[in-house]
């Protein structure tokens, strides 16, 4: 029985798959290969790079004109700046791959006989031997290149560059280097504390190709394979939500499918049950709560200075025109965290959920003396005014010390508010988040079930809009009320509140207030 794949390369006999060869311009890539080009292919993690490279190798070898081998050299990462160990690991990976995929043991034998060859040209000599002894022009596909560190990475790039002029008779006819980042974004730190850019170390690169996500149609095609295999039907209303949640990010699309059709035992055991939008939303929330490796790796990048500069502007939402660096934007986009067209924003709705949760994960569990039961009304609804009053007091007591410990201090008030709410709502309801550059606000959408039927029954829907005081209080309130009402109407909320943070004042007696304006509760912090 096939399943959705949420770990490692996809295998058509085991997994629902989109043909990897359809996800790129194969004619263009084949032309580069025929022209003896060395080029880059890059994409965010778990986008399908390895699956695609393996499919390319298979296609090229089936065509019969070339001898193509794929090698994953991530194992050399452990060597860090130890060039001897790093190059040895790289050569071993390539030799084993040629043996495995081409049934050619000669390169492995050469490597055993020359294991003490000088490190500085051992890789060059290995590739020279392979190319001169192969009956066909050779092609090498190197995966996880940018996992390498320091002098090991420099040695790899320079040894490839050293043999480049000898192609195709005495060096690979063509080569693809694959990783998360474009080579121009490599910042390689040598043991002598010198910083070398990838472009200078590998100036023979002809092109840089970026793999994209699934299209909306491909998301639907992938999930429809489950229906074809089992007869189990997905409600049509799911697909627009799937698209907004993932924007076609392949791991997310597959992980959500796996969560729904395999981890939900009721749906797995009884395919006659139609999978509804509420089933989907529950799976989405479970995936977010799981803190899966993919999501954990993603949020780990938030600590990098280049990522921080971009993400802090998005999360704080205090300016329309932040002073972005072009290479920072390109780098963060390559990581899959943002899109830059038509405007700069976090790349999909799940990442918008995960990022603030992860940034405040420890904070949530450090908030003491706040229990969910304190804020439940007799009708099982959330008492939002009581919750906001408690937050005002909490913010007054802890804002300075807690925000000071955040990595993202610029977005501190908004993040602290989200941590407080998440602490209360965890395990009972859901919080949706909306923010993008230039909005100058963060919209929170709380959904809270009020019956035993959970989200399949009656649900309380509340909007809380967060704004930083950036002009006069009257103007900020007026702008915020219009925005809050518009968002509440858009999501179908029956209750809405506006919270305004004044970061310019230290007078807490003046900053903490609540009043009703145009039928809306407005809270000062």
Calculate mean pLDDT across residues 21-28.
91
- Residue-wise pLDDT tens digits, 25-36: 999 999 999 999
* More confident: 508 or 140: 140
CA distance 446 to 467: 17
* More confident: 377 or 149: 377
Q: Which of 8-17, 57-66, 203-212, 425-434 has the lowest mean pLDDT?
A: 203-212
Query: In this predicted structure, what is the pLDDT of residue 200?
Result: 47
Query: In this predicted structure, what is the pLDDT of residue 317?
Result: 65
Calculate mean pLDDT across residues 109-130.
93
Percent over 70 (pLDDT), the chain: 92
Tell me the CATH architecture of domain 20-210: 3-Layer(aba) Sandwich (3.40)
Q: What ranges do the domains of the chain cover?
A: 20-210, 216-290, 360-524
CA distances from 512 to 111, 272, 477, 524 (A): 72, 54, 15, 5
Helix, strand, coil % over all residues of the chain, rounded to 5: 55, 15, 30
Residues 6+ apart with CB under 8 A from 454: none
- What pTM value is reported for the model? 0.84
Calculate mean pLDDT across residues 315-333.
75
Altogether, the residues listed in the chain come to a count of: 525
Q: Tokens at residue 367, please?
A: 């908030």
* Helix or strand run (H / E) with residue 516: strand 513-517
Query: In this predicted structure, what is the pLDDT of residue 154?
Result: 86
- Residue-wise pLDDT tens digits, 49-70: 999 999 999 999 999 999 999 9
Residue with tokens 């992938």: 222
Percent over 90 (pLDDT), the chain: 52
**What secondary structure, in 3-state letters, does 175-225 show?**
EEEEECCCHHHCEEECCCCCEEEHHHHCCCCCCEEECCCCCHHHHHHHHHH
Where would I find the H helices in 301-427? 305-316, 326-334, 349-359, 361-366, 384-404, 412-425
- Residue-wise pLDDT tens digits, 173-229: 999 999 887 766 565 555 555 555 545 446 665 678 888 899 999 999 999 999 999
Contact assessment for residue 140 and residue 125, using Cβ atoms and an 8 Å cutoff:
no
Of 21-25, 117-121, 231-235, 507-511, which has the strongest mean pLDDT?
Answer: 231-235
Calculate mean pLDDT across residues 219-248.
96
Residue 250 has pLDDT above 80, yes or no: yes
* More confident: 102 or 155: 102
* More confident: 300 or 103: 103
Mean pLDDT, the chain, whole residue set: 88
Calculate mean pLDDT across residues 228-235.
96
Query: In this predicted structure, what is the pLDDT of residue 445?
Result: 93
Going by C-alpha positions, the residue among 171, 185, 88, 76 that lies closest to residue 133 is 171
* More confident: 496 or 452: 496
């Amino acid at each position: 029985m096939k399943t959705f794949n949420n770990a490692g390369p996809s295998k058509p006999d085991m997994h629902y798959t989109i043909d990897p060869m359809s996800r790129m311009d194969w004619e263009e890539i084949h032309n580069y290969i025929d022209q003896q080009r060395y080029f880059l292919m890059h994409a965010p993690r778990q986008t399908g790079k390895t699956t695609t490279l393996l499919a390319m190798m298979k296609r090229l070898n089936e065509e019969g004109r070339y001898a193509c081998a794929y090698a994953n050299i991530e194992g050399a990462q452990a060597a860090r700046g130890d060039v001897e160990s790093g190059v040895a690991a790289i050569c071993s990976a390539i030799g084993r791959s040629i043996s495995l995929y081409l049934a050619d043991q000669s390169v492995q034998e050469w490597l055993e006989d020359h294991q003490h060859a000088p490190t500085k040209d051992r890789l060059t000599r290995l590739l020279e031997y392979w190319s001169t002894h192969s009956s066909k022009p050779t092609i090498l596909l190197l995966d996880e290149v940018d996992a390498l560190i320091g002098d090991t990475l420099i040695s790899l790039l320079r040894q490839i560059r050293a043999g480049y002029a000898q192609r195709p008779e005495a060096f690979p006819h063509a080569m693809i280097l694959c990783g998360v980042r474009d080579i121009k974004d490599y910042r390689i730190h040598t043991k002598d504390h010198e910083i070398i850019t990838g472009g200078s170390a590998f100036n023979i690169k002809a092109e840089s190709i970026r793999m994209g996500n699934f299209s909306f149609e491909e998301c639907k095609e992938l999930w429809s394979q489950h229906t074809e295999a089992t007869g189990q039907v997905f409600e049509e209303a799911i697909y627009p939500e799937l698209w907004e949640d993932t924007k076609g990010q392949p791991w997310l699309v597959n992980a959500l499918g796996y969560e729904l059709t395999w981890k939900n035992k009721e749906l797995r055991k009884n395919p006659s049950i139609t999978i509804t939008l509420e089933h989907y939303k529950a799976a989405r929330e479970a995936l977010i709560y799981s803190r899966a490796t993919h999501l954990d790796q993603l949020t780990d990048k938030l600590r990098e200075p280049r990522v921080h500069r971009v993400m802090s502007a998005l999360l704080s939402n205090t300016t329309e025109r932040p002073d972005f660096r072009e290479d920072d934007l390109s780098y963060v986009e390559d990581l899959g965290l943002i899109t830059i067209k038509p405007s700069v924003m976090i790349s999909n709705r799940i990442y918008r959920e995960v990022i603030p949760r992860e940034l405040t994960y420890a904070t949530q569990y450090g908030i003491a003396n706040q229990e969910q039961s304190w804020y439940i009304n007799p009708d099982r609804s959330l008492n939002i005014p009581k919750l906001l009053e408690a937050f005002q007091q909490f913010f007054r007591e802890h804002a300075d010390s807690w925000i000071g410990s955040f990595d993202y201090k610029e977005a501190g008030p908004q993040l602290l508010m989200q941590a407080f709410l998440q602490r209360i709502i965890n395990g009972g309801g859901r919080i949706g988040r909306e923010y993008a550059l230039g909005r100058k606000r963060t919209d929170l959408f709380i959904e809270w079930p009020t019956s035993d039927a959970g989200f399949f029954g009656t649900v309380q829907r509340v909007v809380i809009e967060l704004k930083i005081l950036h002009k006069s209080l009257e103007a900020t309130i007026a702008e915020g009320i219009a925005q809050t009402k518009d968002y509440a109407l858009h999501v179908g909320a029956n209750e809405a509140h506006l919270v305004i943070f004044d970061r310019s004042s230290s007078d807490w007696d003046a900053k903490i207030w609540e009043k009703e304006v145009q039928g809306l509760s407005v809270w000062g912090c």
